[in-house]
Amino acid sequence: MDTKDNFLNKVCQEIKYKPARRGIAEELELHIEDIKEDYLKSGIKENEAEEKAVAQMGHAEEIGKKLNKIHRPKLDWKLLILILILIGFGIVVAILRDRQPLKTTNYTGSTIVYLVIGIILSIGIYFFDYKKIKKYSNLIWIIATIIMVVPFLVKGPMINYVQYMRIFNVTIFPPAVALPLYLISFIGNIINYDKNKKFKANILGINFSFNKDFLKILIFSIISLILMLNIPSTENALILGIAYLIISTIKIMQDKEGRIIKLVSLYGIIAIFAIVVICTLIASPFRLQRIISSFNPESDPEGAGYTGMLQKEILENAKLIGEAETDIMSDEQSIINSESHFTFIFLIGKTGLLIAGILLLVIILTSIKLIINSRIIKEEYGKFLIIGISTLYILQSLATVLMNVNLGIQANVDLPFVTYGGVYLIVNLLSIALILSIYRRKDINEYDENTKRSIIGLFIEKIGAKDRIKG
């Protein structure tokens, strides 16, 4: 008859994913000890009690095989397929741009090169334990800040009045790299927040009590938004701010203590900030006209509404399938054909409404899948990482599509995976690889002294061993 150690070893040998073995062995051992204790209370000797407890658990190999099915890593095939389709659209857009006679960039070749680099790096992220990056949240923020500051210290190129940086002849838009890094750092600090880290200060004779973690998060957030605004990248600053707000709101809703006061304070600050922004826009006729022209290009057709008029003409002449009957699509110098921010309307003009409609459907399905993933992940850090990355994807996609059809403000925002941009593509691939890494471990329980999950509950539910496990 098996001893406890032999039983646990046989179970663990059947579990292929090694990181799951320790937690499973600990929980099974705990359950065996509970059963053993009941036998000891009935007067049975210790050795016999352990043997009976082990026997009551059932066949070790059978248990191990069934637990292996529950706790093996899983690939999110649905999300992966959707992302591959989006990448396919990106390659199509690159091919269409390469067909222009006066083009100076090999869009298709560059896209494939960056795609290969991104996939190789993504494989490493996929197998990496994402939980290990949580303790480096402050370092990640510093790296993101350096990326944002470098273009000002080492003067990079100015493109459309926006500061870029150049490394080894590769032009990089700093917010494209720093944005997800800032968000990952923010999430790590939110999860690591310790309400007991307080210090007192006397200001003008008044005693104040501050939380160190709260001040750090607040200062880091403000600096990141200021740097975004100074690139300038108002659109990305707004996206990052909304992502901060969504994550903060969800985190506050999880905490029962002082929830209402925290929400009122948070949204009170947001309301004040919104009023300041609105007053700034009203005080700046140029910015106000730009916003109005984004929705009504006819109000300034030769100025702020010029791009909107081009988009409107393409939409009015678009075919179901095929190139739109307008000279805009044959004019290679047109902003629609030369600027990456207009990928969606470019696709409408070149391929027709049907193809663009399919792309829109894939974007929506991807957004829904990301939201579903954020709901099914139970581990807190992974859950918030998916929420943050999903927020970036959804806001960027929404802003780009709406802007391209005159339903949103003209902005310096690109369509993830579809818009041409080497480093931007790599960043998107790494972000999705992180989500796939989190999903991969969603059924794998890891244990520590403070958080023990009942693997026996899963065992009973999924294996159907109620008749063998008692006590």
Residue-number span of the structural domain to which 40 is assigned:
4-72+447-463
Q: How does strand 170-172 pair with strand 198-203? A: unpaired
Q: Is the pTM of the predicted complex or chain greater than 0.85?
A: no
Residues 291 and 379 in one domain: yes
CA-nearest of 180, 114, 141 to 396 is 180
> In the predicted model, what is the mean pLDDT of the chain?
83
- The answer to whether position 470 is within a domain reads no
Residue 468, domain member (yes or no): no
- Average pLDDT value for residue range 311-338: 86
Same domain, 413 and 301: yes
Question: Looking at the structure, do residues 52 and 110 belong to the same domain, yes or no?
Answer: no
Is residue 221, in this structure, part of any structural domain at all?
A: yes
In this structure, is residue 380 part of a structural domain?
yes
Percent of the chain, pLDDT > 70?
89
Same domain, 249 and 381: yes
Give the span between the Cα atoms of 238 and 89, in whole angstroms. Answer: 27
pLDDT of residue 466: 40
Total count of domains within the chain: 2
Task: Give phi and psi for 58, each to the nearest 5.
Answer: 110, -165
Residue 404 in domain: yes
Q: What is the pLDDT of residue 133?
A: 93
Asked if residues 325 and 349 have their Cβ atoms less than 8 Å apart, the reply is no
pLDDT(292) > 60: yes
- pLDDT surpasses 80 at 467: no
Stated as kind and residue range, the H or E segment containing 248 is helix 234-254
- Asked if residue 243 and residue 146 are part of one domain, the reply reads yes
Helix (H) / strand (E) element for 303: namely none
* pLDDT, position 252: 87
Q: Which residue has the higher pLDDT, 232 or 335?
A: 335
> Do 182 and 279 reside in the same domain of the chain?
yes
Average pLDDT (7-34) is 81
Please check whether residues 125 and 231 belong to one and the same domain: yes
User: Are 427 and 355 found together in one domain?
Assistant: yes
Same domain for 143 and 23: no
Range from 14-18, 247-251, 314-318 carrying the lowest mean pLDDT = 14-18
In this structure, is residue 469 part of a structural domain? no
Q: What is the pLDDT of residues 107-163, one digit of tens each?
A: 888 899 999 999 999 999 999 889 999 999 999 999 999 999 888 787 777 776 677
Confidence of residue 104 (pLDDT cuts 50, 70, 90): low
38 and 96 housed in the same domain: no
